[in-house]
Chain A
């Protein structure tokens, strides 16, 4: 069965180099972890595309199963899941994130 939500998710993650599935928007984040994640990319000066899962309940319900990742935010780079808030912070501190973004 084709699933239109999965088509939408795949379209989103292919639409930009960095895609963040978060609660809220960059202007009005609705969760501390989502806020911290968007702040991290802003501080690095990296453009990102964000998708608010609070206003896209179909994506919220489907993405964890699709990505095999249970929580939000979820960070995709080059169409691949990198992880959540803790992982991108750790990768920023180790320099791995910057390497991935420049690759």
Chain B
């Protein structure tokens, strides 16, 4: 189990300057809806953008996070 705030902090720390919104979609602490807006995504495919976020959550997704619904955006 994790809290949305913990997930948010992990992503913000790994991707400084990003805007992150996380919600615990089932209230179970293991399914999260995540929106990440970052200039680091510029010029990257959706596949690459999602991989960047998955890389940040890699350890947690092996263990504490069961499912992630992810949206990534470039600001502007």
Q: Does A66 count as interface, using CB distance less than 8 angstroms?
A: no
What residue of chain B has the Cβ atom nearest to residue A83's Cβ?
A: B47
A86 near B50 (CB under 8 angstroms)? yes
B70 near A70 (CB under 8 angstroms)? no
Q: Does B71 count as interface, using CB distance less than 8 angstroms?
A: yes
CA distance A86 to B68 in the complex (A): 9
**Residues A86 and B69 in contact in the complex (CB < 8 Å), given A70-B61, A71-B61:** yes
* Interface residues of chain B: helix, strand, loop or mixed (majority): helix
CA distance A84 to B61 in the complex (A): 15
CA distance A69 to B70 in the complex (A): 13
- Return A48 CB to nearest CB of chain B, in Å: 18
- Chain A residue numbers with a CB within 8 Å of B70 are 86
B residues 15-54 touching A (CB-CB < 8 Å): 46-47, 50-51, 54
A residues 35-70 touching B (CB-CB < 8 Å): 68-70
A82 near B67 (CB under 8 angstroms)? no
B71 near A69 (CB under 8 angstroms)? no
A69 near B69 (CB under 8 angstroms)? no
A68 near B67 (CB under 8 angstroms)? no
Interface residues of B (CB under 8 A from A): 46-47, 50-51, 54, 58, 61, 67-71
- Give me 24 A-to-B residue pairs in the complex whose CB atoms sit less than 8 angstroms apart, sorted by A's number: A33-B67, A68-B51, A69-B51, A69-B54, A70-B54, A70-B58, A70-B61, A71-B54, A71-B67, A71-B68, A81-B47, A82-B47, A83-B46, A83-B47, A83-B50, A84-B50, A86-B50, A86-B69, A86-B70, A86-B71, A87-B47, A87-B50, A90-B46, A90-B71
Which 9 A-B pairs rank lowest in CB-CB distance, beginning with the nearest?
Answer: A83-B47, A87-B46, A70-B54, A70-B61, A86-B70, A86-B69, A83-B50, A83-B46, A87-B50
